[in-house]
Structure 1
Amino acid sequence: MATEATRNQLAVIENLDEKIKEVRQYIEEQYEKNKELYDESDMERIRNDDWTVERFIRRRKTLKESKEMLDNTLKFRHEMAMPRLKDDDFPEEFHKIGTIFCYCNDKQGNGMIYFRVRLHRKVKELEHDFKQFILYQVEKMDRITNGNGMAIVFDLKGTGLANLDMDMIWFLVSSLLNYYPIGINYILVYELPWLFQSAWNVIKGWLPTETRNKIKFCKEDEIFDYINRENLPMYLGGTCRINYHHVPKNSRTSMEIGQERGKTPKEINKYLKQFQPLLDEADEESKILLSEN
């Protein structure tokens, strides 16, 4: 597995077991002071999985910083309900459009996440929900890879100003850095339009040197240098027919979830209209993907 191969290449940390023990003790102390700020399932992972703690020790220069980073991560995860999220917590439209989704491994065995920026729409009413959806996809892949061996493709092909949401892009990148240390092996930026070059330069300027070195750029068939054709989505020229528009069982519509939260049909339809062309496109792509399965 990529996880084991990557970990075997990590530098040896002196007295690692003692440091893990010390970080665990600190987290337990914070937990006892404010149990309502933590999720019990996360605490169980801290208590029983060394790698969950070790990756934070490796991410920071001092043990004090590692403790604080892990503590902040646990509180953030609880605030965003990350340990408790399920597929059917999100509107079926989120899944169907396929703006962000987990997919097959690359050539090195890294689990892949794709973010099709062209399909993103900045809607204030959905901002929190979509941030949760982003985190949920990352969380799924992080668990599949056991905290290592993950990469993300920022697919910018066909992207225009209507899709440029610097806040959302930075949210995804910063979440990977701050809450999934030693989890991302590289970020592949595909078909960067000249319009976005200055924006990407801004984002790169926000990143530590180590992370900047993980950003790679490619166009057209260069993506096959990273991912085999049989594992690449068809819309990128691959032959894999796994449906990235699949709607999980028991998913509910935005109308159902919105009304449950006190929104009127008029309010919900106001922003849903923006997504109808994307839903129609998803239907067409799904037909192609399923036609020979």
Structure 2
Amino acid sequence: MASAAGGGPAGEGEWLKVAELRAMVQAQDPHAKEVDNLTLRRFLRARDHNVDKASAMFLKFLQWRREAAPGGFVPEEQVRRELSQDKICMGGVDRTGRPILVGLPARHYSASRDMPEFKSFVVYFFDKICARIPRGQEKFLCIVDLKGWGYSNCDIRAYIAAIEIMQNYYPERLGKALLIHVPYMFMKAWKMIYPFIDNNTRDKFVFVDDKSLQETLRREIDENQLPEFLGGKMPLIPLKDYVQHPQAV
């Protein structure tokens, strides 16, 4: 079971629980038929294989999804201001084939943030990165570069909203988040954010000190896939310039 909880191959017992979960959610919401077994398995794993808890979580997700993305995806025009700030970019892939998402929080300003648009933006970029995940892989890697981050960028409400969306509606999608160039003052903000992160997610946030930055990055990512601004050869693509047909997740 440890392997399954970590996102590894499922055993027969786990698939039986997925079937049980499917029967339970389809009886309550016919839209559950449109969701594949891998998605159901992620919700099951997020609730430690408790079918009742996974069912409640998944049914809440279906209702949320209809409200957050009525047409199946968030249209670009709905998040145009957030996109214009280039604070989320697409990178290459790590050594395990997980696509890389790069966050640049120093380009986010709390004073100009509109919360409904920000939440839609979070859905927009999670949909984009999840659509990049190849068959046989279920997770993505995130690099959060806090270089230049200061008080004007500090937005606890937005950070918590993003984490809650990820945990509740994109379970078992984050493989690892590398926080780099972390200023001392950010740790005060982190203390306020930390209680809102569930136990399964906390271990995925890794603070990387400057001395071991290159060693850590190159252990995770080949030079050809590492972003140029971090010493690699892969150009970053701002999310607004990333061309991909929107997909429902």
**Above 0.5 in TM-score?**
yes
Q: How does 1:53-132 map to 2 (within 5 A)?
A: 53-61=40-48, 62-81=50-69, 83-91=72-80, 93-123=81-111, 126-132=114-120
Please identify, of 240-249 and 58-67, the stretch whose mean Cα deviation from structure 2 is larger.
240-249
Distance of aligned partners of 1:248 and 1:12 in 2 relative to their CA distance in 1, 3 Å threshold = closer
**Residue type at the aligned position of 2:196:** W
How far apart, CA to CA, are the structure 2 residues paired with 1:123 and 1:51?
Answer: 39
1:170 aligned onto 2:160: yes
Alignment partner, residue 247 of structure 2: none
How far apart, CA to CA, are the structure 2 residues paired with 1:207 and 1:130?
Answer: 19
Aligned to 2:103, the other structure's residue is in SS state strand
Distance of aligned partners of 1:67 and 1:172 in 2 relative to their CA distance in 1, 3 Å threshold = same
**Residue type at the aligned position of 2:183:** P
Is the contact made by 2:91 and 2:237 (CA closer than 8 Å) also made in structure 1?
no
Please identify, of 69-78 and 100-109, the stretch whose mean Cα deviation from structure 2 is larger.
100-109
How far apart, CA to CA, are the structure 1 residues paired with 2:194 and 2:230?
Answer: 25
* Superposition TM-score, scaled by structure 2 size: 0.80
Among candidates 230, 233, 243, match of residue 237 of structure 2: 243
Alignment partner, residue 18 of structure 2: 20
Alignment partner, residue 258 of structure 1: none
How far apart, CA to CA, are the structure 1 residues paired with 2:101 and 2:145?
Answer: 10
Is the contact made by 2:91 and 2:235 (CA closer than 8 Å) also made in structure 1?
no
Cα distance per residue 1:183-237 (max 9 Å; x no partner): 1111111111100112223333333333222221223534333233332333333
Deviation at 1:157, TM superposition (A): 0.8
Query: What is the aligned-residue RMSD (CA, Å)?
Result: 2.6
Choose between structure 1 and 2: higher helix proportion.
Answer: 1
Please identify, of 114-123 and 95-104, the stretch whose mean Cα deviation from structure 2 is larger.
95-104
How far apart, CA to CA, are the structure 2 residues paired with 1:64 and 1:113?
Answer: 32
How far apart, CA to CA, are the structure 2 residues paired with 1:125 and 1:166?
Answer: 12
Cα distance per residue 1:142-182 (max 9 Å; x no partner): 12216712121221111000001111112222222211222
Deviation at 1:64, TM superposition (A): 0.5
Cα distance per residue 1:8-36 (max 9 Å; x no partner): x346362623x33332233233225xxxx
Is the contact made by 1:97 and 1:245 (CA closer than 8 Å) also made in structure 2?
no
Percent identical among aligned pairs is 23
Instruction: Give structure 2 stretches of 5+ with no counterpart.
Output: 1-5, 244-249
Deviation at 1:103, TM superposition (A): 2.3
1:225 aligned onto 2:223: no
Instruction: Give structure 1 stretches of 5+ with no counterpart.
Output: 1-5, 33-39, 250-293
Distance of aligned partners of 1:193 and 1:125 in 2 relative to their CA distance in 1, 3 Å threshold = closer
Distance of aligned partners of 1:89 and 1:209 in 2 relative to their CA distance in 1, 3 Å threshold = closer
**Residue type at the aligned position of 2:150:** G
Among candidates 131, 145, 158, match of residue 143 of structure 1: 131
Cα distance per residue 1:261-283 (max 9 Å; x no partner): xxxxxxxxxxxxxxxxxxxxxxx
Distance of aligned partners of 1:246 and 1:135 in 2 relative to their CA distance in 1, 3 Å threshold = closer
Aligned to 2:221, the other structure's residue is in SS state coil
Alignment partner, residue 183 of structure 1: 173
Deviation at 1:65, TM superposition (A): 0.2
How far apart, CA to CA, are the structure 1 residues paired with 2:242 and 2:201?
Answer: 33
Deviation at 1:51, TM superposition (A): 0.7
Structure label with greater radius of gyration: 1
